[in-house]
Structure 1
Amino acid sequence: MSHSLRVVFAGTPDFAAESLAALLASRHAIAAVYTQPDRPAGRGRKLKPGPVKALALENGIDVRQPSTLKDPSAQRDLAALNADVMVVVAYGLLLPQAVLDIPRLGCLNVHASLLPRWRGAAPIQRAIEAGDSQSGVTIMQMDAGLDTGAMLLTRTTPIDATTTAGELHDRLAGLGGEAIVAALDALADEGPAATPQPAEGVSYAGKLSKAEAELDFTRPATELAARIRAFNPWPVAWTTLAGEPLRLWFAEKQGLAETRTNGATAEHRPGTLLDPTPDALRIACGPEGRDVLHVTRAQLPGGKPLAVRDLLNSRAARFTPGTCLGDTHQEDRA
């Protein structure tokens, strides 16, 4: 007969809250929730609980917010919960080996990639940026390494030419909840055995930064479009237009730039605005400006992200063909 496990849950943001919600609806018992300390938010900088804490309090779950788990007293408090397993999802605090050893069945992690590909901090964004055709979640037995533990199960989902990081995040959050419940069900029924990660195919997903979101229009359109989707909704790809930031929220590769009368493909300085379509900005890109990036959603300073159709209807003069994005010295070439 199936039985339940006693679970300690550790997580903080929306992604983790999906897994907690799935566990609350499962047969397993949540002994306590660990989450990061409340952070200041909003104009008043008042302390605000994270999504995991808010969900736990709504369901009457004991919430604990230690600043570290390296403290022996914090470890004793955790051990006193007598948990069978600890589920860790985007918690944000390091779990020392002493903590990993406390639960009877160890600590399980919901990781947003198909390990061993994209170990590290930003697997969702890096998968899109690299042009991967699929992503997924891996339920992993945690060890002292960086996402190196043995795998219990995986769930996959496709990535296509329209997938943004925000969309993939939400999809994987749901899959993570389904997967961790399935993994705990299997553990409660004495299976499946964890499988070591293969040595081949390891890659690392470095942390995102605002600086890397600035676009280099000498890169091919396919690469730029993937980066724009990968950085939506954060940190958001950007360039400059007449010295002011222009944020690009969605784009795709259109094809080659217009041709000359002799049939040869025209060359443009990378970053040059070409004649737009009714729905999109067209930007020359690639090493010789022969490629075209097709931007359909953008944001001017002080405004909201808008469909380019709306921007062109109201601010067409800002997007004069021949203007070079990222160039703050156009007057020098007048």
Structure 2
Amino acid sequence: MRLVFAGTPEFSVAALDALVAAGHEIVGVYTQPDRPFGRGQKLTPSPVAQRASALGLAVHKPVSLRKEPEALATLRALAPEAMVVVAYGQILPQSVLDIPRLGCLNIHASLLPRWRGAAPIQRAILAGDAETGVTIMRMDAGLDTGPMLLWESLPIGEMTAGELHDALMPMGARLIVEALRRLEAGTLPDVPQPAEGVTYATKLSKDEARIDWSLPAEEIARRIRGYNPVPGAWSLLAGERIKLLRANALPGTEAAVAGAVLANDKGGFRVGCGSDQLLVTEHQRPGGRPQGGPLSGEAGENNLRFESASQ
């Protein structure tokens, strides 16, 4: 099939590779313009741009398909039969959606209509959902409101956002290849999204990732998983910003002063919460590497207490 592909982050790369491997003709790849990256803030192509260039595919980086008539004309001239969109980073106007004969298909990392929007992987973990998955959707002018074509679920368990991202990425790649095969054969009906159960996955912020120790330990554990690796759950200890990377709630443990470090040894450190206690098994100091065990340099010390976001 003659396709245009639109995507930007690492999550999109697996789908691009799968489409190429399936023999589709990728006549153009659209991605976000180069952005500053790393300590040197050097302008760097997106992961999709880098992979597309390595595959010898034509790469387009318009700032806005909505506001650039020449970019829209270029896309129209490519005459794709379908357009595959995976975390592109732009809302496509109707003028773009109308170009492909078979429509624009989106790989969305949730079980729609739950978690429409920007951060579905993290929000599913933060909410304590038992499962999530991938939905292949035919795009319309709304925010992830189009009819569903294929979907598949996956239990979340104790996965971090990074681990769940890596599990959903190949699932999306596999499902989009199957969706295009069935779409071309005319055996893939549109299924309207249910009117009930709609939730929205708003963007993440660094401020929301600051731990409020007055919350129950289980909720804090979910936040640590949901913000790993980005933006990273954190808390202040004696004015130092500590990232909390992995932790487990300890149900049935005695409530203690919120934020107080109750034990600090090679197994990690236990912290008092609004209810129960939390065992932090991996953390990171500013400028340091992730590490397990005790808070470095403070094993055995007493009266350690994290500041709470609610303070």
Contact 2:214 2:308 in 1 (8 A): no
| Aligned mate of 2:191, from 190, 195, 205 | 195
Aligned residue number for residue 307 of structure 2? 326
SS of 1:10's equivalent in the other structure is strand
Aligned residue number for residue 153 of structure 1? 150
| Aligned mate of 2:2, from 3, 6, 24 | 6
Aligned residue number for residue 273 of structure 1? 261
Output the TM-score relative to the length of structure 1: 0.89
Measure how far apart 1:104 and its partner are: 0.3
Q: In the aligned structure 2, how far is the partner of 1:125 from the partner of 1:148?
A: 20
Q: Report % sequence identity.
A: 54
Contact 1:249 1:297 in 2 (8 A): yes
Aligned residue number for residue 301 of structure 1? 286
Q: In the aligned structure 2, how far is the partner of 1:135 from the partner of 1:315?
A: 40
SS of 1:163's equivalent in the other structure is coil
Residue 77, structure 1, aligned to residue 74, structure 2 = yes
Q: In the aligned structure 1, how far is the partner of 2:213 from the partner of 2:302?
A: 16
Q: In the aligned structure 2, how far is the partner of 1:197 from the partner of 1:304?
A: 44
In terms of Rg, which structure is larger?
1
Residue 184, structure 1, aligned to residue 180, structure 2 = yes
Residue 126, structure 1, aligned to residue 108, structure 2 = no
Deviations 1:139-175 (A, max 9, x none): 0000011100000001221111x20000001111111
Question: What is the letter of the counterpart of residue 284 of structure 1?
Answer: G
| Aligned mate of 2:139, from 133, 139, 142 | 142
Change (3 A) 1:327 1:213: closer
SS of 1:93's equivalent in the other structure is coil
Question: What is the letter of the counterpart of residue 236 of structure 1?
Answer: G
Aligned length: 308
SS of 1:94's equivalent in the other structure is coil
Contact 2:7 2:30 in 1 (8 A): yes
Measure how far apart 1:16 and its partner are: 0.6
Change (3 A) 1:187 1:306: same
Deviations 1:203-247 (A, max 9, x none): 111110000011111100110000000000011111111121111
Aligned residue number for residue 272 of structure 2? 284
Q: In the aligned structure 2, how far is the partner of 1:249 from the partner of 1:326?
A: 17
Measure how far apart 1:40 and its partner are: 2.0
Output the TM-score relative to the length of structure 2: 0.95
Q: In the aligned structure 2, how far is the partner of 1:41 from the partner of 1:272?
A: 37
Question: What is the letter of the counterpart of residue 301 of structure 2?
Answer: T
Contact 1:282 1:293 in 2 (8 A): yes
| Aligned mate of 2:227, from 225, 231, 243 | 231
Question: What is the letter of the counterpart of residue 109 of structure 2?
Answer: A
SS of 2:121's equivalent in the other structure is helix
Q: In the aligned structure 1, how far is the partner of 2:210 from the partner of 2:160?
A: 17
Measure how far apart 1:323 and its partner are: 2.0
Q: CA RMSD in A?
A: 1.6
Aligned residue number for residue 261 of structure 1? none
Q: In the aligned structure 1, how far is the partner of 2:190 from the partner of 2:291?
A: 47
Q: In the aligned structure 1, how far is the partner of 2:81 from the partner of 2:225?
A: 40
Q: In the aligned structure 1, how far is the partner of 2:48 from the partner of 2:252?
A: 47
